[in-house]
């Protein structure tokens, strides 16, 4: 009857908690606990060392191991494979809190979870999952994702790295560029063309251990921000791997990459949120303490307007991110929402980073305060895992599909 149908619908909204917008106001208890434990870890263990990690370009190996022990390096991985067995909303919260403590560490967490483990979890065989995921859940090992090349970033379909079959092996040749975690990784998901004539439908995905004969690393890039992560070229010269190292079916590489990046966007959006929030925290705290014209500068409308704009930017990006995560958890399409989240969050991060320095004035420009680091860390979030321009194309594409008659 109509009544039972209505009751079922409203119960469904309550019971599925996560699925409804009303729960965005207050997260489920488990998620709140999880967020708190990550926040405590970030405040106590990452905050105090983030400046040093950035200055000295140090990979936070110890912290990554500790995060692994907490389950943060493999949030979505089922417990049977060594992960935390939680959902993508939990993962988003974890990355945000970790990034709030240290933007670089948040990036390492995000790349390992979304870009390395993500595709193997979705497209790998049981044997591949055990071999390539389980050792990467503990924080002892991290993975990386090699799609971009010197000749193509946004133009991912033009992969010029080649893979040819020789007997029981694949032989890979080519160069990948801008690979995050490269110098610290123990394996990579890498994309190469197996059938050039099929264009982007001729790209396949492969799993390569690191180090490995035939695979060498270029010099570490000297970056503006997220300096505790290593970014370098991967150079393949007759790199041989067993046939069983192909991930998914032949020719499905582009599809795997695109679907992986869809989820990865939620991770990067979360990283951007953490950086944005850290920038806002820094500015708001300073506004209480710094006095000028006889009062704390937080009393000045100019400063108040900046803080308000920053808060709105972060909170709206956060809700977009949570919605994208919830849609993914509900196994509903989330491509458009993930792109919107990544776009909004990364632009919020650069906005907050910029305004935070402005609120701090001269103090914002020096390394004594973290504002300049947030500004530098934020910048990459508008570029990697799909530039803001690509995000706009993705959103427009989805939108136009919805309106097509």
Partner 1 sequence: MSRVLVGVKRVIDYAVKIRVKPDQSGVVTDGVKHSMNPFCEIAVEEAVKLKEKKFIKEVVAVSCGPSQVTETIRTALAMGCDRGIHVEVSGKDYEAMGPLQISKIFAALAKKEEASLVILGKQAIDDDCNQTGQMTAALLDWPQGTFASEVTIDGETVKVVREIDGGLETIKISMPAVLTADLRLNTPRYATLPNIMKAKKKKIANMKPADLGVDMVSRVEVLRVDEPPTRLAGVKVETVDDLVAKLKANGTI
Based on the shown chain and the rule CB under 8 A, indicate whether residue 236 belongs to the binding site for partner 1.
no
Contacts of partner 1 in 86-115 (CB under 8 A) = 86, 90, 94
**Is residue 221 annotated as part of the catalytic site, yes or no?**
no
CB of 63 to partner 1, least distance (A): 12
Structural contact between residues 128 and 247, judged by C-beta atoms closer than 8 angstroms: yes
Token digits for 220? Answer: 């570490």
Pairing status of strand 231-242 against strand 142-146? unpaired
Provide the terminal-to-terminal Cα distance of the chain, rounded to the nearest Å. Answer: 34
- Rounded to a whole number of angstroms, the CA Rg of the chain reads 22
Task: Based on the shown chain and the rule CB under 8 A, indicate whether residue 26 belongs to the binding site for partner 1.
Answer: no
Give the separation between CA 29 and CA 23, rounded to whole angstroms: 11
Q: Which is nearer to partner 1, 34 or 241 (CB)?
A: 34
Which of 372, 385, 389, 402 is an active site residue? 385
Least distance from C-beta 84 to partner 1, angstroms? 4
* Residue number, 31 or 336, with CB nearest to partner 1: 31
Q: Which is nearer to partner 1, 33 or 396 (CB)?
A: 33
Segment contacting partner 1 by CB under 8 A, of 30-38, 218-226, 352-360, 373-381? 30-38
Number of residues that bind partner 1 (CB under 8 A): 20
Minimal distance, residue 158 CB to partner 1, in Å: 39
Residue selected from 27, 50, 64, 72 as contacting partner 1 according to rule CB under 8 A: 72
81-89, 114-122, 232-240, 247-255 -> range binding partner 1 (CB under 8 A): 81-89
Query: CB-wise, 45 or 54, nearer to partner 1?
Result: 45
Q: How far is the CB of 45 from partner 1 (least distance, A)?
A: 9
Residue 24: Cβ within 10 Å count: 14
| Sign of the C-alpha dihedral computed for residues 262, 267, 268 and 272 taken in this order | positive
Is the CB of 79 or the CB of 155 nearer to partner 1?
79
Q: Which residues pair with 66 in a beta bridge?
A: none
Q: How far is the CB of 295 from partner 1 (least distance, A)?
A: 19
Rounded to the nearest 10°, the torsion over CA 299, 301, 302, 305 is 110
Among 29, 56, 166, 402, binds partner 1 (CB under 8 A): 29
Instruction: Tell me which stretch binds partner 1 (CB under 8 A): 28-36, 261-269, 305-313, 325-333.
Output: 28-36
Burial class (CB within 10 angstroms; exposed 0-12, middle 13-18, buried 19+) of 254: buried
Asked whether position 84 contacts partner 1 by CB under 8 A, the answer is: yes
Q: Name residue 405's beta-bridge partners.
A: none
Q: Is 148 exposed, middle or buried (0-12, 13-18, 19+ CB in 10 A)?
A: buried
3-state percent breakdown (helix, strand, coil) of the chain, nearest 5: 60, 15, 20
Residue 190 makes CB contacts below 8 A (sequence gap 6+) with: 146, 147, 161, 172, 176, 205, 206, 207, 208, 234, 236
Interface residues toward partner 1, by CB under 8 A? 29-30, 33-34, 36-37, 40-41, 66, 69-72, 75, 79, 84-86, 90, 94
Q: Where in the sequence numbering do the catalytic residues fall? A: 385
């Amino acid at each position: 009857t109509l009544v039972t149908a209505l009751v079922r619908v409203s119960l469904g909204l309550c019971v599925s908690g996560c699925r409804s917008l009303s729960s965005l106001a207050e997260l489920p208890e488990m998620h709140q606990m999880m967020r708190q434990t990550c926040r405590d870890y970030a405040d106590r263990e990452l905050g105090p060392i983030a400046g040093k990690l950035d200055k000295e370009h140090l990979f936070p190996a110890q912290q990554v191991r500790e995060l692994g022990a907490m389950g943060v390096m493999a949030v979505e991985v089922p417990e049977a494979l060594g992960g935390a067995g939680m959902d993508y909303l939990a993962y988003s919260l974890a990355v945000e809190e970790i990034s709030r403590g240290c933007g670089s560490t948040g990036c390492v967490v995000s790349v390992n979870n979304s870009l390395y483990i993500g595709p193997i979890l979705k497209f790998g065989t049981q044997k591949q999952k055990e071999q390539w995921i389980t050792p990467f859940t503990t924080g002892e090992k991290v993975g990386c994702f090699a799609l971009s090349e010197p000749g193509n970033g946004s133009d991912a379909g033009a992969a010029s790295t080649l893979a040819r079959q020789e007997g029981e092996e694949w032989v890979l040749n080519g160069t990948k560029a801008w690979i995050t975690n490269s110098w610290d990784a123990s394996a990579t998901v890498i994309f190469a063309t197996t059938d050039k004539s099929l264009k982007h439908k001729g790209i396949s995905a492969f799993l390569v251990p690191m180090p490995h004969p035939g695979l060498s690393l270029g010099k570490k890039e000297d970056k503006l921000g997220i300096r505790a992560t290593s970014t370098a070229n991967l150079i393949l010269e007759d790199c041989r791997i067993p046939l069983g190292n192909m991930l998914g079916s032949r020719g499905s590489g582009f599809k795997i990459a695109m679907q992986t990046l869809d989820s990865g966007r939620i991770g990067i959006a979360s990283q951007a949120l953490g950086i944005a929030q850290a920038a806002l925290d820094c500015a708001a705290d300073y506004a209480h303490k710094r006095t000028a014209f006889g009062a704390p500068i937080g009393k000045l409308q100019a400063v108040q307007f900046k803080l308000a704009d920053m808060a709105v930017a972060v909170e709206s990006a956060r809700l977009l991110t949570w919605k994208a995560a919830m849609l993914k958890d509900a196994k509903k399409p989330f491509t458009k929402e993930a792109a919107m989240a990544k776009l909004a969050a990364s632009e919020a991060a650069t906005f907050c980073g910029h305004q935070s320095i402005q609120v701090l004035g001269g103090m914002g420009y020096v390394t004594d305060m973290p504002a300049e680091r947030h500004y530098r860390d934020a910048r990459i979030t508008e570029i990697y895992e799909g530039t803001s321009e690509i995000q706009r194309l993705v959103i427009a594409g989805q939108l136009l599909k919805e309106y097509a008659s």
